[in-house]
């Protein structure tokens, strides 16, 4: 049995920022990694390399700061996986997607848009929801928003399966 994605993310928490980068939060991940590695490097340098370069107590301060940044990153990652990870909301996302699709087919554009936006609030990397949102925007004559949704979908890993359809839609909207 394969290990669920959120367990892999927690396993990646050994090095701060790695789990965030792997799960698509690159800026936060880089910030956490730089913070931890710089404080850890300062602690090592102050304690064992340039002992006389820093006043007494600074090596302890840098060590405590690196431990706190590691612990904060670990706690954030475990919290995010436990409460915010898209896999935790998969059943709700699938239910909302079915309802949004049904509302779309019945011509209830506002209900469909609202449900798709709820999906994207839970998982902003859901390519299926983004392409549905783009299609909905075309239907409601919101061409600029449709272009934005389609381009955002193309930037996602999951958007690759919709590349041809998105390119056709963008061409119909007047994009190259």
Would you say the pTM of this structure is higher than 0.75?
A: no
DSSP secondary structure of the chain: -PPPHHHHHHHGGGSTTHHHHHTT-HHHHHHHHHHHHHHHHHHHIIIII-TTTS-TTHHHHHHHHHHHHHHHHHHHHHHHHHHT-GGGGHHHHHHHHHHHHHHHHTT-HHHHHHHHHHHHHH-TT-HHHHHHHHHHHHHTT-HHHHHHHHHHHHHSGGGGGGHHHHHHHHHHTT--
Structure tokens at 11: 């396993």
CATH fourth-level superfamily of 89-172: Tetratricopeptide repeat domain (1.25.40.10)
Please give the backbone phi and psi of residue 137, each rounded to the nearest 5 degrees, phi first. Answer: -65, -35
Angle formed by the axes of helices 58-83 and 26-44, to 10°? 150
Task: Give me the tens of pLDDT residue by residue for the chain, a chain 176 residues long.
Answer: 455 666 776 677 788 988 888 877 789 889 999 999 999 999 999 999 988 888 888 989 999 999 999 999 889 888 877 777 666 677 888 999 999 999 999 999 999 999 999 999 888 888 999 999 999 999 999 999 999 999 999 998 888 888 999 999 999 988 65
CATH 1.25.40.10 segments of the chain? 89-172
pLDDT at position 68 is 95
pLDDT at position 51 is 84
pLDDT at position 36 is 94
């Amino acid at each position: 049995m394969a290990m669920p994605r959120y367990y892999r993310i927690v396993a990646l928490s050994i090095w701060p920022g790695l789990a965030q980068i792997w799960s698509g939060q690159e800026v936060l991940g880089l910030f956490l990694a730089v913070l931890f590695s710089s404080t850890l490097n300062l602690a090592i340098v102050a304690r064992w390399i340039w002992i006389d370069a820093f006043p007494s107590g600074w090596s302890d301060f840098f060590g405590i700061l690196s431990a706190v940044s590691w612990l904060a990153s670990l706690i954030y990652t475990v919290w995010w996986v436990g409460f915010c990870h898209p896999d935790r909301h998969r059943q709700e996302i699938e239910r909302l997607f079915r309802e949004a699709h049904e509302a779309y087919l019945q011509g209830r554009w506002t209900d469909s848009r609202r449900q798709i936006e709820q999906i994207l609030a839970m998982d902003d990397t859901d390519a299926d929801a983004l392409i549905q949102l783009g299609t909905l925007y075309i239907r409601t004559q919101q061409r600029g928003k449709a272009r934005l949704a389609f381009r955002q979908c193309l930037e996602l890993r999951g958007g690759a399966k919709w590349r041809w359809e998105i390119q056709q839609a963008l061409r119909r909207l007047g994009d190259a």
